Amino acid sequence: MNACVRAAVRTAIARDVEVIGVMQGYKGMIEGGENFMPLNSRSVGNIIQRGGTILKSSRSKAFMTIEGRKTAHENLMEHGIEGIICIGGNGTFTGAEKFYNEFGIPSIGAPGTIDNDLFGTDLTIGFDTAINTAVEAIDKIRDTADSHGRVFFVEVMGRDTGFIALAATIAGGAESVMLPEVKEDHHKLIDFFRTRSQNKKSFSIVVVAEGNFEGGAFAISNMLNKEIPGFESRVVILGHIQRGGSPTAYDRVLASKLGYGAVNALLDGEKNKMVGLMNNKIVLTPFIDAITQIKPLNADLLKLVDILNN
Ligand code: F6P
């Protein structure tokens, strides 16, 4: 996200527009005061390599109320703010659209979520860094799996969608993947483990998206340990390490393009749209579509998992 903030600030300055950073997102917009910080080129120096966001982030319940949004509007007026660039996902864009309808302040959003589950962009900011972290972990887990001939369930983030899980499975060379989108997989998995010794597999790594199964990877592991005699598996939950760390080069380039694209779109009079990258081109998608339309998993990648795990 820092690469996006940096690009947005410097693109705006290149177009002679003043920039004010609002700390903590909508929460800071409502609380005002020191949350409003004028930003110049130097303010966003030396941040491109840092994870997280220098502007901080929050989930604001107050912005979901009309009173909260009214206060936010008063603060924006006080600082002469005429347009907003926001980074986020569903909640951020829903709030931005509502805010425009009530107070007429236009927004352009950049897709920031490691889950990559926003319609209107091939990739979201953070996804590439997250899958690289997951793959690095899988590579390390593989050493114990191989030496000890063990089965590992590696749980990755993805409450509603399996983009991280699918990419980490292919790149990490895992045997199987369990996705929120493909619930029936558990029985397939039991069969898979029953026959895996016939395929001369001495160890296995299964990537589990957290939203696949109530209770996540631990529940799956416990279930299989009970159902398959002699079966013993280990579980690793990668959790929030996927959401931090220095961003990959790919993520920095993506975020820079999106920050640049977002500011240009706003200054060219666009509003209520998310900037995205599709087929390597910057495109705009109305917030309402980005929020409501489903981005499907790549079916070819799913097939590939089955071909590659033999
Ligand atoms: O951004 C979405 C997500 O990465 C989900 O995949 C995950 O379930 C969630 O964030 C974790 O959120 P929190 O940090 O609030 O626990």
Tell how far the Cα of 43 is from the centroid of ligand 1, in angstroms: 29
Percent of the chain with pLDDT over 90: 88
Six-digit token string for 214: 């109530």
Rg of the chain over Cα atoms, rounded to whole angstroms, equals: 22
How many whole angstroms separate alpha carbon 97 and alpha carbon 285? 13
Question: How distant, in Å, are the alpha carbons of 68, 80, 96, 104, 233 from that of 62?
Answer: 5, 22, 14, 19, 44
Tell how far the Cα of 229 is from the centroid of ligand 1, in angstroms: 35
Q: Is the CB of 169 under 6 A from ligand 1?
A: no
* pLDDT at site 197: 67
- Residue in the block written with tokens 């120096």: 45
Residues 34, 36, 41, 44, CA torsion sign: positive
How many whole angstroms separate alpha carbon 171 and alpha carbon 52? 24
Segments in the chain below pLDDT 50 = none
Q: What digits encode the pLDDT tens for the residues 218-239?
A: 999 999 989 888 888 999 999 9
The minimum-distance atom of ligand 1 relative to the CA of 59 is: 15
- Residue in the block written with tokens 């820079």: 256
List phi, psi (to 5°) of 111: -75, 110
Q: What digits encode the pLDDT tens for the residues 71-80?
A: 999 999 999 9
- Helix (H) or strand (E) holding 145, with range, is helix 127-148
**Active site (annotated) includes residue 115:** yes
How many whole angstroms separate alpha carbon 113 and alpha carbon 123? 9
Q: Which of 16, 115, 143, 251 is catalytic?
A: 115
Tell how far the Cα of 2 is from the centroid of ligand 1, in angstroms: 19
Q: Is the CB of 159 under 6 A from ligand 1?
A: yes
Question: Atom 15 of ligand 1 has which residue's CA nearest to it?
Answer: 59
Q: Is the CB of 130 under 6 A from ligand 1?
A: no
How many C-beta neighbours within 10 Å does residue 303 have?
10
The minimum-distance atom of ligand 1 relative to the CA of 158 is: 6
* pLDDT at site 146: 95
Q: What beta strand segments (E) does 223-278 contain? A: 233-237, 273-278
